[in-house]
Amino acid sequence: MSELTFTLLRLGYLVLLWVFVLSAVAVLRRDLAGPRTSSSRRRRPELAGPAPAAGPGGGASRAPQRGGPSRLVVVAGPLTGTTIPLTSSGVLIGRAPSCTLVLDDDYSSSRHARIFPQGGQWFVEDLGSTNGTYIGEERVQGIIPLAPGVGVQIGQSVVELQG
Amino acid sequence: MSGLRPEENAPTRIAEAVLLVVALALGMGGMWMVGYALEDGLPEGFWTYSIVLAALAFTTHIVLRLRAPYADQVILPAVVLLNSVSMAMVLRLDLVDMRGANASRHLMWTALGVIVACVVIFLLRDHRSLRRLTYTAMVVGIVLVILPLIPGLGQEINGAQIWIFIGPFSLQPAEFAKIAFAVFFAGYLVANRDTLALAGKKFLGLQLPRLRDLGPILIVWAVSLAVLIGEKDLGTSLLFFGLFVGMLYLATDRVGWIVIGLTMFAGGAVAAWSIFSHVQARVDIWLNPLDAELYAREFGGSYQIVQGLFGMAYGGMFGAGWGEGYPDRVPFAFSDFVYASLGEELGLTGLLAILLIYLVIVQRGLRHAVGVRDGFGKLLAGGLAFVMALQLFVVVGGITRIIPLTGLTLPFMAQGGSSLLANWIVIALMLRISDAARRPSALPTRGALADPAPAMVGGDAIEVGGPGVGPVQAGTEAGAGRGATPDEATQIVRGVER
C-alpha cells in the first residue's frame, strides 16, 4: 500500500470517528433542545386557531356559566384531555405529587404555576419556574388575569380554562 | 425516537441501529488497517472478530427492542464503539506478540459481558426491585472487597493484592463491588437522605451534618482505607470513597458533604503517603518521572509512565496510524495503558473523540437520573454515571500525569475480564433505568385516577387566599417543595377527574 493511501486511510478513520461522535451528539440534541422547538411548533397551529375565537367572554359554542369557567382542560401535551373541576382554592400545577395537576414532564418545575380565582376573575401566576409559563409567545411575569379559552403553556403541556 | 415526547407506539430504534453500524465499521476498519500495516493482509481471525462483535451488538439491539423499547439509543452504540476499537488495539498488540495481549481472550470476555448484560436487561424488568437488595448489596460489596485478602484465593501481583484466582480464571472483585456499593448507597440514601440533609447546624454557610449521621460515611471511609492499606490499591479506594461522597451530594444537595469528604480523603491520603513506601513511590514517579534513577528502577519505577508519555507525544495531533506506532514498548499497553496506546496510534484527535464518547455515556446516565421518577433510580443512575466519570478521570489523569498513577482500568477499552463484565452490567442497569425514564408511563395517564384518594386532594396545597395573600404563600411553598422527589411512580395524575 502506498504512503498516500495509508495517510488518507489514517485521516479518514479519524473523520469517521468524529462522524460517529457528532451524530451521537445530534441524537442527543433533540433531547436537549427538542421540547422548546417542538412545543412552539405545535403551539402555534393549535392555539392560534381557538384562542382569538374564544377570547375573553368565551366562545359561542362553549356557553360560559354565570360564575365563569368551571373546569381546567389540558389541550396539548402527554395529558391531553385531562379535565379538572375548578374550585375556589385554585389549581396548582407542577411535578410535585402534592400538586392538583401533576405533570410528568422534565421541563416543568416541582411547583410550576397556579391558576386561581380572585374577585370573580381567574388569574395565572408563575411560581418561579425554571422554564417559565407562557401565554402565546409571552412569558407570564407575576400575576396576570386569565380569560377562558386562552392556552397557558407549562412545560410540554398547554392548559386552558373552559366553561 | 423523539427526545422525550411520549408516543403511541414504541420507538423503532432506527438511530441506534444506524449508529451501531458506524461503530462496528470503526472497529472493523481498525482491525483491517492493523492487518495491512503489520502483515500486509487481513489479520488472522478478522472475520471471526468482526462477525462475533456484530452479532453481539445486534443481539443486544434486539433484546432492547423487545424488553426495553424506550431505552436510550446512544448508550449502546457508544459502548460498542469503545469495545470494538479496543478489540482492534488488543489485536494489534497481539499481532506483534506482546506478552499478555490476547485478542481471542478479549473477545471471549466481551461476549460474556454482552450476554450477561442482555440477561440483566431481560430478567430485570424494573430497576426498583433492586431496592429490596439494599443491605444484601452492602454485604456482597464488603465480601467482594475482602476476597483478595484471603490467603490462597488472593495473590499479590505487581505490588497490589486485588486479584482472586479460581482455577484458570482471575478476577478483580473490586469491579463488581463497585456495582454492589452503588445499589447499597442508592437504597440507603433514598431512605435516609432527609436526616442527612436537614439535621445539623450551619457553619460558615455550610450545612454541617450531625455527628451521629456521620456513621455510614465513617464506615465507608474505613473500608476504602482498608482497601488502600490491605490491598495497596490506591485507585479502588479512591473510587469507593468518591462514589459515596458523590452520591451523598446527589441525595442531599449539601456542599458540606463534599467538603467533609474531600477533607477526610486528603487526611487519609497524606497519612497513607507518610506511612507506606509504595504510596511514596507512586507520588515520586508522578512528580519526577524523568529522574534517571527512578526511570531505571526495576520495580515501581517511572519507565511505564514515561514510555506512555513518549508514545502519546509520538502520536501527536493525528496519530501514527493503526499499526504504525510502537505501543508495545509500554508495559501493560493493552490494559492499564491502553489510553496511551490509542494516543500513539490515533493521536490527540482520536483521544478527544474517545473521551467525548465517554462523556456522552456519562451525560446519558445523569440525564436519565433527572428523568426517572423514583428516588432510588435517580440515585442509582446518577451514582453509576458518576463512578464511570470518576474512574475515567483517575485512569486518564494517571496516564497523563495529572494525578499519581493508580491501577484502575479504562472501562470497555482495557483488556481484562472483570472490568469488561462489570461495566457491561453497569450499562445494562443504565439502559434499564433509561427505559423507565423515557417510557411515557405505564400508569394511567388520561385522567384516570391513579390515587385512591378522592379527586381534588391537591386543592389543599394552597389555602384560599385573601387578596394579596395567596401568591406569597404559594411562593414560599414552592421554595419548600424544592428537592421533593416523588418516590413512587404513582403520582402522575392525582386529584384529576375525567
B463 Cβ under 8 Å from any chain A Cβ: yes
Number of H helices, E strands in chain B: 16, 5
Residue A22 has pLDDT above 80, yes or no: yes
Asked if residue B211 is part of any domain, the answer here is no
Per CB-CB distance under 8 Å, the chain B contacts of A109 are: 478
Buried b (16+ CB within 10 A) or exposed e, B349-375: bbbbbbebbbbbbbbbbbbbbebbbbb
Between residues 310 and 349 of chain B, which touch chain A (CB distance below 8 Å)?
A: 318-319, 321-322, 324, 346-347, 349
Q: Take residue B92 and report the three cell numbers written for it.
A: 494489534
Please state, in angstroms and rounded to a whole number, the distance separating the CA atoms of residues B460 and A91.
Answer: 10
User: 10 Å Cβ neighbour count for B109?
Assistant: 19
Query: Chain A to chain B, count of Cβ pairs less than 8 Å apart?
Result: 202
Record: contact B2-A38, CB cut-off 8 A: yes
Find which of A21, A29, A118, A143 to mutate to test the B interface (most B CBs within 10 Å of its CB).
A21
**What average pLDDT does the segment A33-56 reach?**
40
A34 Cβ under 8 Å from any chain B Cβ: yes
DSSP string, B419-438: HHHHHHHHHHHHHHHHHHHH
- Residue in A83, A88, A92 nearest the CB of B458: A92
Is the pLDDT higher at A56 or at B229? B229
Nearest CA in chain A to B491: A97
- Residue in B321, B494, B496 nearest the CB of A6: B321
Q: Is A152 helix (H, G, I), strand (E, B) or coil?
A: strand
Asked if residue B485 is part of any domain, the answer here is yes
Per CB-CB distance under 8 Å, the chain A contacts of B463 are: 89
Asked if residue B493 is part of any domain, the answer here is yes
**Structural domains in chain B (count):** 1
**What average pLDDT does the segment A120-149 reach?**
86
Asked if residue B187 is part of any domain, the answer here is no
CA distance B441 to chain A (A): 9
CA dist A146 to A140, A161, B252, B350, B469, Å? 11, 8, 38, 56, 19
Asked if residue B481 is part of any domain, the answer here is yes
- Residue in B322, B474, B492 nearest the CB of A127: B474
Record: contact A13-B33, CB cut-off 8 A: yes
What is the model's pLDDT at position B205? 59
Long-range Cβ pairs for the range A25-28 (8 Å, 24+): A25/B356, A25/B360, A27/B15, A27/B19, A27/B73, A27/B74, A28/B74, A28/B360, A28/B363, A28/B364
- Residue in A20, A100, A118 nearest the CB of B26: A20
Record: contact A99-B475, CB cut-off 8 A: no
Q: How many residues does chain B have?
A: 498
Nearest CA in chain A to B454: A100
- Cell 394552597 sits on residue: B462
B5 Cβ under 8 Å from any chain A Cβ: yes
**What average pLDDT does the segment A12-19 reach?**
94
Q: Is B201 helix (H, G, I), strand (E, B) or coil?
A: coil
Asked if residue B448 is part of any domain, the answer here is no
Asked if residue B107 is part of any domain, the answer here is no
- Residue in A31, A97, A114 nearest the CB of B4: A31
CB B415 within 8 A of CB B461: no
List alpha helices for B403-469, DSSP H: 417-438
CB A89 within 8 A of CB B462: yes
Please state, in angstroms and rounded to a whole number, the distance separating the CA atoms of residues B12 and B24.
Answer: 20
CA dist B108 to B31, B53, B102, B112, Å? 17, 10, 10, 6
CA distance A30 to chain B (A): 5
B469 Cβ under 8 Å from any chain A Cβ: no
CA atoms within 13 A on the CB side of B334: 23
Per CB-CB distance under 8 Å, the chain A contacts of B8 are: none
Is the pLDDT higher at A57 or at B247? B247
- Cell 433531547 sits on residue: A31
- Residue-number span of the structural domain to which B482 is assigned: 453-497
Host H or E run for residue A145? strand A143-145
Please state, in angstroms and rounded to a whole number, the distance separating the CA atoms of residues B491 and B489.
Answer: 6
B444 Cβ under 8 Å from any chain A Cβ: no
Please state, in angstroms and rounded to a whole number, the distance separating the CA atoms of residues A58 and A54.
Answer: 5
Residue A37 has pLDDT above 50, yes or no: no
CA-nearest of B451, B443, B202, B169 to A98 is B451
Please state, in angstroms and rounded to a whole number, the distance separating the CA atoms of residues B88 and B43.
Answer: 10
Please state, in angstroms and rounded to a whole number, the distance separating the CA atoms of residues A136 and A151.
Answer: 7
Please state, in angstroms and rounded to a whole number, the distance separating the CA atoms of residues B339 and B392.
Answer: 10
Please state, in angstroms and rounded to a whole number, the distance separating the CA atoms of residues B247 and B50.
Answer: 39
Please state, in angstroms and rounded to a whole number, the distance separating the CA atoms of residues B5 and B1.
Answer: 9
**SS3 sequence of B233-291:** CHHHHHHHHHHHHHHHHHHHCCHHHHHHHHHHHHHHHHHHHHHCHHHHHHHHHHHCCCC
CA distance B353 to chain A (A): 6
Rg, Å, chain B Cα set: 25
What is the amino acid identity at position A89?
A: S
Residue B273 phi/psi, 5° resolution?
-65, -40
B23 Cβ under 8 Å from any chain A Cβ: yes
Q: Take residue A156 and report the three cell numbers written for it.
A: 410540554
> Interface pTM (ipTM) of the complex?
0.80
B95 class by beta-carbon count within 10 Å (0-12 exposed, 13-18 middle, 19+ buried): buried
B461 Cβ under 8 Å from any chain A Cβ: yes
Please state, in angstroms and rounded to a whole number, the distance separating the CA atoms of residues B286 and B302.
Answer: 8
Please state, in angstroms and rounded to a whole number, the distance separating the CA atoms of residues A125 and B478.
Answer: 12
B283 Cβ under 8 Å from any chain A Cβ: no
What is the model's pLDDT at position B384? 95
Record: contact A101-B74, CB cut-off 8 A: no
- Residue in A17, A101, A114 nearest the CB of B496: A101
pLDDT digits (tens, 9 = 90+) for A58-77: 333 333 345 678 888 888 88
Asked if residue B264 is part of any domain, the answer here is no
CB B248 within 8 A of CB B184: no
Mean pLDDT for back-to-back runs of 10 residues, chain B (498 residues): 48 89 95 90 91 95 92 94 94 88 92 95 91 88 84 70 74 88 90 75 64 71 75 81 88 83 86 83 88 79 90 92 89 90 94 95 92 90 95 93 87 90 95 89 43 39 37 36 38 36
CA-nearest of B389, B392, B384 to B413 is B392
* B350 φ/ψ sector (left φ>0, alpha ψ -120 to 50, else beta): alpha
Rg, Å, chain A Cα set: 23
Find which of A7, A71, A84, A88 to mutate to test the B interface (most B CBs within 10 Å of its CB).
A84
Q: Take residue B329 and report the three cell numbers written for it.
A: 514498548
DSSP string, A50-69: HHHHH-TT--GGG--BTTB-
- Return the ∠ at Cα B174 (arms to B170 and B175), rounded to 5°: 85
Q: Take residue A162 and report the three cell numbers written for it.
A: 373552559
Record: contact A127-B464, CB cut-off 8 A: no
